[in-house]
Amino acid sequence: MTPGSVVDDALDPAAVAHAVNAAAAAADDVDRRGRFPAEAVLALRQGGLLGAHVPAELGGAGMGMAAMADIAFRLGGACASAAMVYAMHQIQVACLVRHAASTPALRAHLARIAHSGFLLASVTSEAGVGGDIRTSACAIEPGVTKPGPAGSVRVVKQSTAISYGAHADGLLVTARRTPDAAPSDQAAVLLFTGDYTLERTGTWDAMGMRGTCSDAFLLQAECPADQVLPVPFADIAADSMLPVAHLLWAGVWLGIAADALHRARACTRRARTPDGSLPPAAGAVAGALSTYRMAEARWRLVLDDYEAGRPVPPLEWNGLKVGVSEAALDVVMQAMRICGIAGFRNDSPYSIARHLRDIMSSVVMVGNERILANSGALVLMQAPRLGLA
């Protein structure tokens, strides 16, 4: 139930294994206390995995999307919070690699990120915009305290959630390009810890993904103007943020489902009867595996297209997110039913409780209903690929 070992040759497989083991060892405590998965992130940093997507000429390993997705999958089976922190960080790095590497100042910052293993967080959510990351109320304004050779800019943003914001070394922040710009005319600003302050305005006490520590913050920042990405955020979102997010999130969710299915299989094998006949739940395990395999195949298909540079229509991206999240939730729920009270208990080796609470986030992160509404419009405007003549 793994997508295959696709970790780049430039990476040390032992570093990946160490990070996964560190995540697994702390997973229950991270979940119970709702704390940051520091052990896993430290292992990722020490293994060079946080900056590995940065091109080799800038100090990274040039890690491709398949390798990042594989690591997200492995971490997902160990600790969903650690996996989601890793995925969200790599989304920011991918945006910088694709849209900032041609700018000298931003290239230098990418090299810093790779060399130091900086952890990057995203600041796209904002109070008053209804959860639409393609709309900003705040704006990039002229700065006053950090003039520098290129001038400076400032941003003040009331964010409803900055995942692991208090633990990050830098942020990628969206805002209107100028105070006079339309809400959808956005730019992204790269910030490092010396550029901003965060005032906590709300806490994260959630059912699952508790270790992402997605508190609300008032962000106040000022930085050199050359830390504003030159590409409109609309292009960054469409070309990088959306596809990378859906691919890596899907890897995390499938990792959670795979580990739940492993536990259900182990619990069922334990229940074999003395005469060697199959336990009643064996068929349910096979059914859950079938659901899992179909979701994994869809993920692999889109991942292969993306890696090969083949176009992936928006309808396919939407379908990937909705399809994998719903299937993963279904698999974990089936695993809970298979394990019964052993899966329901927190102190059982077959416990599915953390898996179920974490996977519930998959259908509410960028809510599936909103995505399906957007897909409905696309379906009516264009014929979906059905493999029919």
Residue 79 lies in a domain: yes
pLDDT over threshold 90, residue 384: no
Same domain, 220 and 262: no
Lowest model confidence (mean pLDDT) among 46-60, 95-109, 145-159, 211-225: 145-159
Q: What is the CATH number of the domain that holds 58?
A: 1.10.540.10
Lowest model confidence (mean pLDDT) among 163-167, 199-203, 373-377: 373-377
Q: What is the CATH number of the domain that holds 144?
A: 2.40.110.10
Same domain, 278 and 213: no
Same domain, 280 and 359: yes
Residue 388 lies in a domain: no
Same domain, 301 and 367: yes
**Residue 133 is encoded by which pair of tokens?**
């990351």
Report the Cα 148 to chain-centroid distance in Å.
34
Same domain, 81 and 143: no
pLDDT tens digits, 3-33: 434 445 556 899 999 999 999 999 999 999 9
Q: Rounded mean pLDDT of 321-334?
A: 97
At 277, which amino acid appears? S
Domain that holds residue 159: 120-231
pLDDT over threshold 60, residue 243: yes
Q: Rounded mean pLDDT of 123-133?
A: 92
Domain boundary among 196, 231, 266: 231
How many independent structural domains does the chain possess? 3
Q: Rounded mean pLDDT of 49-75?
A: 95
Residue 3 lies in a domain: no
Domain boundary among 90, 116, 142: 116
Residue where the block lists tokens 């979102």: 237
Residue 144 lies in a domain: yes
The predicted structure's pLDDT at residue 9: 55
pLDDT over threshold 80, residue 147: no
Q: Rounded mean pLDDT of 232-259?
A: 97
Residue where the block lists tokens 């005469």: 275
The predicted structure's pLDDT at residue 6: 44
pLDDT over threshold 70, residue 383: no
The predicted structure's pLDDT at residue 375: 83
Q: Rounded mean pLDDT of 285-304?
A: 97
Q: Rounded mean pLDDT of 87-91?
A: 98
Residue 4 lies in a domain: no
Phi, psi of 241 (to 5 degrees): -60, -50
On whether the CB atoms of residues 63 and 12 are closer than 8 A, the answer is no
Residue 387 lies in a domain: no
Q: Rounded mean pLDDT of 283-301?
A: 97
The predicted structure's pLDDT at residue 186: 97
> How high is the mean pLDDT of the chain?
92
Question: Which residues are within 8 A (CB) of 188 and not within 5 positions of it... i.e. 6 or more apart?
Answer: 95, 172, 173, 174, 228, 229, 233, 236
The predicted structure's pLDDT at residue 237: 95
Same domain, 348 and 278: yes
Q: Which residue has the higher pLDDT, 275 or 69?
A: 69
Residue 213 lies in a domain: yes
Same domain, 162 and 213: yes
Q: Rounded mean pLDDT of 188-204?
A: 97
Angstrom distance (rounded) from CA 340 to CA 332: 12
Domain boundary among 175, 208, 231: 231
Same domain, 139 and 252: no
Q: What is the CATH number of the domain that holds 356?
A: 1.20.140.10
pLDDT over threshold 50, residue 2: no
pLDDT over threshold 50, residue 284: yes
Angstrom distance (rounded) from CA 8 to CA 47: 13
Same domain, 245 and 327: yes
Question: Which residues are within 8 A (CB) of 225 and not within 5 positions of it... i.e. 6 or more apart?
Answer: 143, 148, 150, 151, 152, 153
The predicted structure's pLDDT at residue 148: 59
Same domain, 241 and 105: no
pLDDT over threshold 80, residue 214: yes
Same domain, 373 and 239: yes
Same domain, 35 and 130: no
Q: Rounded mean pLDDT of 337-355?
A: 97
On whether the CB atoms of residues 188 and 223 are closer than 8 A, the answer is no
Residue 368 lies in a domain: yes
pLDDT-derived band at 246 (thresholds 50, 70, 90) equals very high
Angstrom distance (rounded) from CA 255 to CA 378: 30
The predicted structure's pLDDT at residue 146: 61
